[in-house]
Amino acid sequence: MNQLQNPQPIPVLFDHDGGVDDFLSLLLLLLLPEIDLAGISITPADCYAENALETTQKLLALTNKDHIEIGVGQYHGINAFPADWRARPKMLNALPDMLNVANYIETATPENSVDFIIRKLSVAAEPVTVLLTGPCSNLVQAVAQQPAIVTKIKEVVWMGGAVDVPGNVRTYNHNGTAEWNVFWDPVAAKTLFGLGLKLTIVPLDTTNHVPVTIDFLKKLAAQASAFYAHLAGQFWATTIDTIPAYDYTYFMWDVLTTSYLAIPTAFVVEQVEMDVIATGPSAGKTYRAPGTGQWVQVATDVNKEQFYSFLFKKLTSPLGQ
Ligand code: AGV
Ligand code: CA
pTM of the model: 0.97
* Average pLDDT, integer, range 177-196: 98
* Average pLDDT, integer, range 15-40: 98
68: pLDDT strictly greater than 90: yes
Q: How many domains does the chain have?
A: 1
Beta pairing class for 199-202 and 294-302: parallel
| % of residues, the chain, pLDDT over 90 | 90
Contacts of 52 (CB under 8 A, 6+ apart): 16, 17, 18, 22, 42, 44, 72, 89
Of 53, 38, 143, 141, the C-alpha closest to 92 is: 53
Q: Is residue 185 part of a domain?
A: yes
* Ligand 2 centroid – CA 4 distance (Å): 33
Q: Is residue 265 part of a domain?
A: yes
What pLDDT sits at residue 74? Answer: 98
Q: Is residue 263 part of a domain?
A: yes
Please state, in angstroms and rounded to a whole number, the distance separating the CA atoms of residues 77 and 44: 9
> Quick check: helix, strand or coil at residue 124?
coil
Instruction: Please state, rounded to an integer, the average pLDDT across all residues of the chain.
Output: 95
Identity at 115, one-letter amino acid code:
D
pLDDT band at 320 (very low <50, low <70, confident <90, very high): confident
Nearest atom of ligand 1 to the alpha carbon of 85: 19
Q: Output DSSP code: residue 146.
A: -
Please state, in angstroms and rounded to a whole number, the distance separating the CA atoms of residues 146 and 256: 30
- 36-58 pLDDT, tens digit each: 999 999 999 999 999 999 999 99
238: pLDDT strictly greater than 60: yes
Of 164, 159, 168, the C-alpha closest to 247 is: 168
List all residues whose CB is within 6 A of at least one atom of ligand 1. 19, 21-22, 46, 85, 133-134, 159, 168, 179-181, 242, 248, 250, 253-254
Q: Is residue 187 part of a domain?
A: yes
* pLDDT-wise least confident of 108-117, 153-162, 203-212, 241-250: 241-250
Helix axes 304-316, 227-237, angle to 10 degrees: 120
3: pLDDT strictly greater than 70: no
pLDDT band at 2 (very low <50, low <70, confident <90, very high): very low
What pLDDT sits at residue 4? Answer: 54
Please state, in angstroms and rounded to a whole number, the distance separating the CA atoms of residues 56 and 64: 12
Q: Is residue 20 part of a domain?
A: yes
* CATH code of the domain covering residue 187: 3.90.245.10
204: pLDDT strictly greater than 50: yes
What pLDDT sits at residue 295? Answer: 98
Best probe residue, ligand 1, of 17, 168, 235 (max atoms within 8 Å of C-beta): 168
Q: Is residue 321 part of a domain?
A: no
Q: What stretches of the chain show up as alpha helix (H) in DSSP? A: 20-31, 49-62, 83-87, 96-99, 113-123, 137-145, 180-183, 186-193, 204-207, 214-221, 227-237, 253-262, 304-316
Which structural domain, as residue segments, surrounds residue 157?
3-316
